[in-house]
Amino acid sequence: MKIIVAIKQVPERDARIRIDAEGTWIDLQDVEFTLNESDAYALEEALQLKEEHGGEVVVLSAGPERVGKTIREALAKGADRAIHVESDDLAAYDALGVARLLAAAVKDEQADLILTGLQSDDLGLGQTGVILAELLGLPHASLILKIEAAEGGVKVLRELEDGWFQHVELPTPAVLTIQSGNSKLRYATLMGIKKAKTKEVRRVTPLELAAEPEASVVVLERVLLPNKQRTTQILGGSPAEAAAALVEKLRFEVRAL
């Protein structure tokens, strides 16, 4: 089975957030980057499939040079080779634009499966995989927890809302977006990192992919820090009053009831 895993490098979860001079993104100075969480699960799924059925895992990532580090980590965890769509200004592309780049980069790969994470931890659009499927004319399924090989394709476990699940069968090639948390991630090892050094990373530019940014239809105009900070609210009064106040909060602020 040949599997492509699209991965994204995102700012570390606990990165200190300051807004940049243009006010359109965060200041990336001293921000550390890491592999997007659900992409890590997508990679893990791919590696487990490979371990079970053989084949090849190719990681695909778009972004500036620093993305190389995340790509190497993925190779260290067991991916066989990588495609790096190198671009310093991905921000000029909207989700459709990025998906076009990725589609152009993999269209000749003849992969059986293309996996992506469910959504990115930074922009949280949750669309790239699904758009990619549409651009490549492939069937897709999202929020996938588990993949099994089946006659002529795959059978996947899909998460529905409120604790419901569903199996879906798809013919391959197909695109799947992977939900976090189902499998156990592996840690990067020294041996993996050493092996990764000799693995192929193909670098391509948007220009080579002939996918110049078409005018974005959606633009991120500016970003703001929310004024709400996480603080502890002590609910006072008699036990009954405090309990009533808490229920009120859980219903209308947390929306958990």
Partner 1 sequence: MSELTSGVLVFLEIKNREISRISWEAMAAAHTLAEGHGLSVDVALVSSPGNPIFETIHGKAPRTVYAIDHPLLHEYTADGFAAAYAQLIEQVNPSYVVFPHTYQVRDFAPCLATRFKQVLISDVTGIETHAGAETAPPTFIRQLLQGKLNAHYRHRGTGPCFLSIQAGAFRADAAEAGATTLATFEPRLDAAKIRTKPGEPFRASAQTVDLGSASILVSVGRGIKEEANLPIVQELATALGAELAASRPICDSGWLPMERQVGSSGQTVAPKVYLAIGISGAIQHLVGMKGSQCIVAINKDENAPIFEVADYGIVGDLFDVVPALTAAVLKAKG
Partner 2 sequence: MVPVDVIPSRLLCMSLAGAGVLSEPGHFSWLEKLLLLLLIVLSGTLFWKRFGVVVGKILGARRDAGFRLFPIGKRVWDFFWEVLCQAKVIRERPLPGLAHAFVFWSFLAFALVTLNHVAVGFGIGFLDAAGAFGRVYFWIAGLFALACAVSIAGLFVRRFVVRPVWLARPALPGHEVSYESGIIAGLIFVLMATYLAAFFVGEASMAARLLWWSHTLALLVFLPLVPHTKHLHLILSPVTIFLSRGGFSEIPALDGDEDFGLVTGKDLTQLVALQAFSCVECGRCTEHCPAANTGKSLNPKEIVLGVRSYLNEFGPTAEELLLGKYNAQESAFQCTTCGACEFQCPVGIEHLPIIVGLRRGAVNTGAWEDSHGTKLFLAMERNSNALGLSAMEREKFVQKAELPIFDGTQEYCLWLGCMGGYDPKGREIIRSFVEVMQYLGTSYGVMRKEKCTGDPARRLGNDLVFQELAESNLEAMQQQKVKKIISICPHCVRTIQEDWKAFGAPPEVEHHSEFLARHQARLPQQKTDEKIAYHDPCYLGRYRDVYDEPRAVISAAGTLVEAERNRERSFCCGAGGGLAFLGEETGQRVSHVRAQELVATGATTIGAACPFCNTMFRDALAATGEGAPQLLDIAQIAARSLPSAVTVARIQ
For residue 155, is it left (φ>0), alpha (ψ between -120 and 50) or beta? beta
Pick from partner 2, partner 1, none: which does 163 bind, CB < 5 to 8 A by kind? partner 1
Pick from partner 2, partner 1, none: which does 221 bind, CB < 5 to 8 A by kind? partner 1
Task: Choose the stretch contacting partner 2; rule: CB under 8 A; options: 11-19, 87-95, 211-219, 239-247.
Answer: 11-19
- Which residue from 96, 157, 185, 204 is in contact with partner 2, where contact means CB under 8 A? 185
218 in contact with partner 1 (CB under 8 A): yes
Write the CA distances from 214 to 96, 97, 130, 210, 219, integer angstroms.
Answer: 9, 7, 19, 11, 12
| Residues 21-80 within binding reach of partner 2 (CB under 8 A) | 34
257 in contact with partner 2 (CB under 8 A): no
92 in contact with partner 1 (CB under 8 A): no
- Residue 153: partners with Cβ closer than 8 Å, 6 or more residues away: 169, 170, 171, 172, 174
- Which residue from 72, 77, 140, 146 is in contact with partner 1, where contact means CB under 8 A? 140
242 in contact with partner 1 (CB under 8 A): yes
Give the whole-angstrom CA distance, residue 153 versus residue 212. 34
Binding mask 95-134 for partner 1 (x = CB under 8 A): xx--x---------------------xxxxxxx--xx-xx
Give the whole-angstrom CA distance, residue 175 versus residue 228. 38
Q: Mapping DSSP to helix (H, G, I), strand (E, B) and coil, where does residue 16 land?
A: coil
- Which residue from 27, 66, 88, 165 is in contact with partner 1, where contact means CB under 8 A? 165
Token representation of residue 140? 């897709």
**Exposure on the CB side of residue 168, measured as CA atoms within 13 A:** 20
Pick from partner 2, partner 1, none: which does 210 bind, CB < 5 to 8 A by kind? none
Nearer to partner 2, 233 or 238 (CB): 233
189 in contact with partner 2 (CB under 8 A): yes
183 in contact with partner 2 (CB under 8 A): no
Do the strands 174-178 and 113-117 form a parallel or antiparallel pair, or are they unpaired? parallel
Token representation of residue 124? 């949280």
| Residues 6-45 within binding reach of partner 1 (CB under 8 A) | 11, 13, 17, 19, 26
Token representation of residue 232? 């502890």
Nearest Cα to Cα of residue 110 among 169, 49, 55, 50:
55
68 in contact with partner 1 (CB under 8 A): no
